[in-house]
Structure 1
Amino acid sequence: MDDRKPDRRAFVPLQAADLSSRSDLTGTVFVVDDDPAVREALEVLVSVSGYPVQSFAHAEEFLASPDLNEPGCLILDLRMPGMNGLELQRELLRRHNPLPIIVLSAHADLSAAVQSMRAGAVDFIQKPFSGMELMDRVREALRLNAEWRAALQERELIESRLALLTTREREVLNMMVDGVPTKVIARRLGSSFYTVQNQRSSILRKLKADSVVNLVGMLLKLRQDPRGIAGRQLPPP
Structure 2
Amino acid sequence: MTTEQPLPPTVYVIDDDAGFAESAKFLIESIHRPVVNFSSADEFLAQFNPRHTGCIICDVRMPGMSGLELQEVLRERNCLMPIIIVSAFGDVPIAVRAMKAGAIHVLKKPFDDNDFLELIQKALAEDARRREEFRTQQVVLDRYDRLTDREREVFEEVIEGLSSKEIGQRLSVSFKTVEAHRAKIMKKMEADSIPQLLRMWFTIQQCRPTKTILPPQG
How far did 1:66 drift?
A: 4.6
Where do 5+ consecutive residues of structure 2 fail to align?
1-7, 208-218
SS state at 1:64 partner: helix
Partner SS for 2:184? helix
Aligned Cα root-mean-square deviation (Å): 1.3
The answer on 1:113 being equivalent to 2:95 is yes
Q: Is the 8 A contact 1:31 1:56 kept in 2?
A: yes
Select the residue among 181, 184, 194 that pairs with 1:202: 184
Matching residue within 35, 52, 60 for 1:78: 60
2:148 is the counterpart of 1:169: no
Contact kept in structure 1, 2:50 and 2:78, CA below 8 Å: no
2:124 equivalent to 1:145: no
Give secondary structure in 1 for the equivalent of 2:147.
coil
Query: What is the CA distance between 1:69 and its match in structure 2?
Result: 3.1
Question: 2:137 & 2:205 partners in 1: Cα distance?
Answer: 9
Tell me how far 1:224 sits from its aligned partner. 3.7
1:156 alignment partner, one of 138, 150, 155: 138
Residue 128 of structure 1: SS of its match in structure 2?
A: coil
- 2:194 is matched with which residue? 212
Please say if 1:93 is aligned against 2:92. Answer: no
TM-score (norm 1): 0.81
Q: Residue 149 of structure 1: CA displacement?
A: 1.0
Overall identity of the aligned pairs, in %: 38
- Which shows bigger deviation, 138-147 or 62-71? 62-71
Aligned residue for 2:56, secondary structure, equals strand
Q: CA deviation at 1:96?
A: 2.0
Tell me the distance in 1 between the aligned counterparts of 2:88 and 2:51. 28
Q: Deviations over 1:47-80 (max 9, x none)?
A: 1111011110010111111545311100110110
Instruction: Note the C-alpha offset of 1:201.
Output: 0.8
1:29 counterpart = 2:5:
no
Q: Does 1:53 align with 2:10?
A: no
Looking at structure 1, the residues matched to 186 and 40 of structure 2 have their Cα atoms a distance apart, in angstroms, of 49
Counterpart amino acid of residue 121 in structure 1: A
Task: Give the TM-score normalised by the residue count of structure 2.
Answer: 0.88
Counterpart in the other structure of 1:126: 108
Instruction: State the 1:223 CA deviation.
Output: 3.6
CA distance in 2, matches of 1:175, 1:223: 15
**Aligned-residue offset at 1:130:** 1.8
Equivalent position of 1:42 in the other structure: 24
- Which residues of structure 1 form unaligned runs of 5+? 1-25, 226-237
**How far did residue 105 of structure 1 move?**
1.1
